[in-house]
A = this chain, B = another copy of it.
Amino acid sequence: MEFLTGVKEKETLEIGGLSEKAKEGQRVKINGAVHTIRDMGTVAFVILRKREGLLQCVYERGNTNIKLKDIKEGAAIEVEGTLMENEKAPGHMEIQMKEVRILSMPREEGMPLPVSKWKLNTSLEAKLNYRSVTLRNIRERAKFRIQEGLTRAFRDFLYGEGFTEIHTPKIGAKGAEGGANIFKLAYFHRPAVLAQSPQFYKQIMVGVFDRVFETAPVFRAEKHNTKRHLNEYTSLDLEMGYIDSFEDIMAMETGYLQYAVGLLERKYKSELQILDITLPKADQIPAAPFREMKERISEKYGHRMRNPFDLEPEEEQLISRYAKEEWDSDFIFVTHYPSKKRPFYAMDDPEDTRYTLSFDLLFRGMEITTGGQRIHDYQMLMEKIASRGMETDGMEQYLNAFKYGMPPHGGLGIGLERLTMQLAGEDNIRETTLFPRDLNRLEP
């Protein structure tokens, strides 16, 4: 009888911890994908791509058990040889190849695009058309390690703050956010929709766990193709009860950003270097009302306001510029959005009900978060629904949560791909999405 007892240590090594062995010139075994081969005549450099980075292998004719022409770009190989220090090689070390074992061979000779170059100087379109290959580029893939760090920080920070993680359904009877941007599907001959957000569910769950979060896909059938919209994206959502005011929510997001910056510094240093990312300061983030910021940028930059109820992309940029110039901050909370631009569940400001106790967070010129306090009183919620001429069909259980008591609460949703985009300094959200979905793109 065979028994599995857990993960066994492998003979083959990973890059982390190799540098000690390089000092001593130890014989090691390592595997990886052939990222590129540079043939210099008597000697050739076979660069291996591993999950932690690149590793230089030196091929010398006569010293290796295999012919150089039998090693191809894209092959997965196992190399045994002597590990040496070399200041010029990636990670300051290299392996003198002795034994090579081919683990798998590619079908094609060479890559369809020069993925082994430092920077993939191809169009976004070409990158996406060969996504499974272009992601093997070191800079391209590094963005998604940063994205991992942002998600991981969100969860770890919130666990520490007493939040519980939830998984809410993505197929439902009714959209939470209203509007026309809802994907419809047939669910066993009944009409159904894809979730625009976990809004109703996370509010319901505040009644259960006080503080909850979810990191999951959401779906928006936006019919425009912009550099900042996707039709499917990952939303980092949190919702918290027993708040004293909507500032508690902004404080929580500030805490998250501080934690994320710290985690990236500690655990994603090499990716930050690869992408040349300067982390933002998040120690103090300014907050100012929507109207006030509109006026400030109009005064300072002579900007002519066209829509008094919403921020145009240009205005988001100007407000961010203002925050940078006046308060040296890459972030700014813009608060008190007009009620008519917020969903029915948003809490109006009791001091001026044309505005809400809500906010957006702008980061380097772009909105990355929408949040705010929600209505928690059943009567007030029903009145708001009625005043908007909405139907309550399919919302019975959501309304039940309020009927049977809900604490004052609020929350937010962060667009993960946007946050990554702004951090990595990309100008198109598709650059920081593994497999983007837009008006034209359903594959890969």
A residues whose Cβ falls under 8 Å from a Cβ of B: 1-8, 10, 12, 14, 31, 33-34, 50-52, 72-76, 103-108, 111-112, 130-133, 135-136, 141, 144-145, 147-148, 151-152, 155, 159, 161-162, 164-173, 183-188, 190, 192, 194, 200-201, 204-205, 207-211, 216-217, 219, 221, 223, 231-232, 234, 241-242, 244, 247, 250-255, 258, 283-288, 327, 333, 376-379, 394, 396-398, 400-408, 416, 434-437, 439, 442-444
In the assembled complex, how far is the CB of residue A407 from the closest CB belonging to chain B, in whole angstroms?
Answer: 4
Is the CB–CB distance between A242 and B407 below 8 Å? Answer: no
CB pair A132–B442 under 8 Å, yes or no, is: no
Chain A binding surface, main DSSP class: mixed
Knowing A148-B165, A255-B6, A284-B5, the reply to whether A402 touches B107 (Cβ < 8 A) is yes
Contact A103 B398 (CB under 8 A): no
A308 to chain B, nearest CB (A): 23
Whether A1 pairs with B288 at a CB distance below 8 angstroms is: yes
Contacting pair B74 A251 (CB below 8 A): no
B219 touches A398 (CB 8 A): no
Bound complex: CA A13 to CA B75 (Å): 58
Cβ A135 vs Cβ B188 within 8 A: no
Q: Would B111 and A404 count as touching, CB distance under 8 A?
A: yes
CA distance A133 to B219 in the complex (A): 27
Instruction: Pick from A6, A147, A184 the residue with the most CB of B within 10 Å.
Output: A6
In angstroms, Cα B284 to Cα A27, docked, is 33
